[in-house]
Copies of this chain bind each other. A is one copy, B any other.
Amino acid sequence: MDTLLITQQDLKQIVARVGIHALMDGLLHSLERALQEFDETQTEVRKREGFLLEAPQPGVLEWMPVMRKGDSVTLKIVSYAPANPRRFGIPTIIANNSLYDVQTGHLRALVDGVLATALRTGAASAIASKYLAHPDSRVVGLVGCGAQAVTQLHALSRVFGIERVLAYDIDPDVQKSLPARVAFLGLEVLPAPLEVVEAQADILCTATSVEVGAGPVIRGTALKPHVHINAVGSDLPGKIELPLAVLERSLVCPDFLAQALVEGECQQLSPEKIGPHLVELAKEPARFQAWRQRGTVFDSTGFALEDQVVTEVLLQHALALGLGTVVQLENINGSALDPYGYVFPRPGLEVAA
Q: Which A residues contact B (CB, under 8 angstroms)?
A: 1, 5, 7-9, 11-12, 14-15, 20, 44, 46, 49-51, 53-55, 59, 61, 63, 65, 67, 69-70, 73, 75, 77-81, 84-85, 87-96, 98, 100, 102-107, 110, 112-115, 118-119, 145-148, 150-151, 174, 177, 180-181, 183-184, 325, 327-344, 346, 348-349, 352
Which one, B9, B96, B105, B329, contacts A59 given CB within 8 A?
A: B105
* Contact indicator B51/A20 (Cβ below 8 Å): no
Which one, B147, B333, B337, contacts A339 given CB within 8 A?
A: B147
CB pairs A–B below 8 angstroms (19 shown): A12-B344, A20-B344, A49-B49, A51-B67, A53-B102, A61-B105, A63-B75, A80-B105, A81-B104, A84-B336, A94-B105, A95-B105, A96-B98, A110-B329, A112-B330, A114-B332, A115-B343, A145-B337, A177-B337
Rounded to whole Å, the gap between the CB of A116 and the closest CB of chain B is 8
* Contact indicator B77/A51 (Cβ below 8 Å): no
* Contact indicator B63/A65 (Cβ below 8 Å): yes
* Contact indicator A105/B85 (Cβ below 8 Å): no
Chain B residues with CB under 8 Å of A352's CB are: 89
Chain B residues with CB under 8 Å of A92's CB are: 336
Which one, B9, B100, B103, B115, contacts A55 given CB within 8 A?
A: B103
Complex Cα distance A331/B336, Å? 35
* Contact indicator A346/B89 (Cβ below 8 Å): no
Rounded to whole Å, the gap between the CB of A101 and the closest CB of chain B is 9
Chain B residues with CB under 8 Å of A80's CB are: 105
Chain B residues with CB under 8 Å of A343's CB are: 8, 11-12, 14-15, 115
Copies in the complex: 2
Q: Which residue of B lies closest to A148 (CB)?
A: B339
Rounded to whole Å, the gap between the CB of A67 and the closest CB of chain B is 5
Known A20-B340, A338-B150, A339-B147; contact A104-B100, beta-carbon cutoff 8 A? no
* Contact indicator B181/A8 (Cβ below 8 Å): no
Complex Cα distance A121/B207, Å? 44
Q: With A5-B327, A61-B67, A114-B332 given, can you name 19 additional A-B contacts, CB distance below 8 Å?
A: A8-B333, A8-B334, A46-B49, A49-B49, A51-B65, A51-B67, A51-B102, A78-B105, A85-B337, A87-B103, A89-B352, A91-B336, A91-B337, A114-B330, A115-B343, A146-B336, A147-B337, A177-B337, A181-B341
